[in-house]
Amino acid sequence: MKLIVKVFPEITIKSRPVRMRFIRQLAKNIRAVLRDLDPAVVVNGVWDNLELETRLTDAKALKDMTERLSCMPGIAHFLQVDEYALGDFDDITEKCKLHFGDSLEGKIFSVRCKRAGKHPFSSMDVEKYVGSKLRRECGAAGISLKAPQIEVRMEIRDQRLFVIHSQHNSIGGYPLGALEQTLVLMSGGFDSTVAAYQIMRRGLMSHFCFFNLGGRAHELGVMEVAHFIWKKYGSSQRVLFVSVPFEEVLGEILGKVDNSHMGVVLKRMMLRAASRIADQLQIDALVTGEAISQVSSQTLPNLSLIDCVTEKLVLRPLIASHKQDIIDLAEEIGTADFAKHMPEYCGVISVNPKTHAKRNRVEYEEQQFDMAILERALENAKLVPIDRVIDELGQDVQIEEVSEALAGQIIIDIRHPDAAEDEPLAIPGIDVQTLPFYALNARFKELDDSRQYLLYCDKGVMSRLHAHHLLSEGHANVRVYRPS
């Protein structure tokens, strides 16, 4: 199968060296993302379009390839085509008739042609000739350029003809790896996940930094959504997940800082810590999900006070976004379900929080804070490659596993809904229920506690992690199902 990959339009207006660098990076990213599906995939082109050839024939693998390319920064859209040597107009007509002839009878259609190279004819000449002949020979009802039922599309590039079967849109933006790196402050909610997506879509390679205020459940939830975003939109690059234990920092703030200034002080501590981590990783920019006046710490005066603790550039891609627009985009990119079920944690809740905090007052409050606690948090920070974050998290978790389900036990398939739908788990005589991992912790308490539940996922890692957490929460009726 052959695909023509159309790059993001802004890439085409760059200077020649920049344009070629971006397109080379995009080709490299495509090979990296598709390598496990087709090790022999071929991607060519350094100036305009990229041409991709694959030997894949399996329907599921082709679907996976299409989904991956549809989520890749740098691609505007891609076309599935058949390639032929360019002949005369009659030959072009025959090639189009071969692919569209049977579907044109009784239909209104149009012919669209794009052309690149030197030819003694125009694109309009091709459209008129091929359209007229197809109408006569295929029993079409007519031609309409404004409202066709079927579009016969082709591209002519030098001495090659491409008959286009389908078009798939992607997310645009710049290729990951072509621009600088950033460190995204990730809480796992709507705002931070959408901010991470937007910054990645712009081509900025993004590492994830999580400040743990809520224990294991919150850390696991944020790890899962960070891994999801990376896997779907950024897997061409290897990045880090950084987890900083911040419970002691929060406790110090609660005990030493005036109630109305807690929110601003906490954000300043997070930015100080993130700046130190960014220095370690040689990163010049931080990313947050803050939007103007969404909460008290996000007024312009407070944001200015927060930013002054770092020399790093702080990027806020959502700064002028409405909350509902953020939620809608989270639904679109697939992070909303994670955000809805993110475990609650005890954040800083101020009574009458300051919306216009004064710098001298904030600095006075921070004088009461023991900075050694912040240093300890940084010393205990964990840096894990994002592609190994779930596996490494589950290495030391020992949970009882069973290879066969018994009558009366219920298997809970905790895989992502897409995976559960593509390859449903069915075991004769056993009740199998689907409950995605991101909703499991919140909804498990609704289940009948007199039944035995076996958690199932592909590798057994996610099921072990969630079983471990549920057991630690006091649910003794949980095991892991690992079929032999």
Residues taking part in catalysis: 457
Cα gap 102→138, rounded to integer Å: 7
Cα gap 432→434, rounded to integer Å: 7
For the four alpha carbons of 377, 383, 387 and 390, in that order, the dihedral sign comes to: negative
- Strands 75-85 and 160-169, bridge-based pairing: antiparallel
The three-state secondary structure class of 136 is helix
Residue that is written with structure tokens 């991992």 in the block:
437
- DSSP sequence for 143-212: E-SSS-SEEEEEEEETTEEEEEEEEEE---S--TTSS-EEEEE--SSHHHHHHHHHHHHTT-EEEEEEEE
Cα gap 184→202, rounded to integer Å: 14
Which strands sit side by side in the sheet containing 240-245, from one edge to the other? Answer: 313-315, 285-287, 181-185, 205-212, 240-245, 382-385
Bridge partners for 81 per DSSP: 2, 164
> Could you give the residue ranges of the DSSP H alpha helices within 76-122?
89-100
Cα gap 294→411, rounded to integer Å: 41
Residue that is written with structure tokens 């909610």 in the block:
189
185 marked as binding residue: yes
H helix or E strand, kind and range, residue 3: strand 2-7
186 marked as binding residue: yes
> 114 — phi, psi (to 5°)?
-110, 145
79 marked as binding residue: no
Q: CA–CA distance from 189 to each of 163, 218, 224, 351 (Å)? A: 44, 11, 12, 23
Contacting residues for 331 by C-beta, under 8 A, at least 6 apart: none
Mark the binding-site residues, compressed into ranges. 185-186, 267, 289, 298
Mark the binding-site residues for ATP, compressed into ranges. 185-186, 267, 289, 298
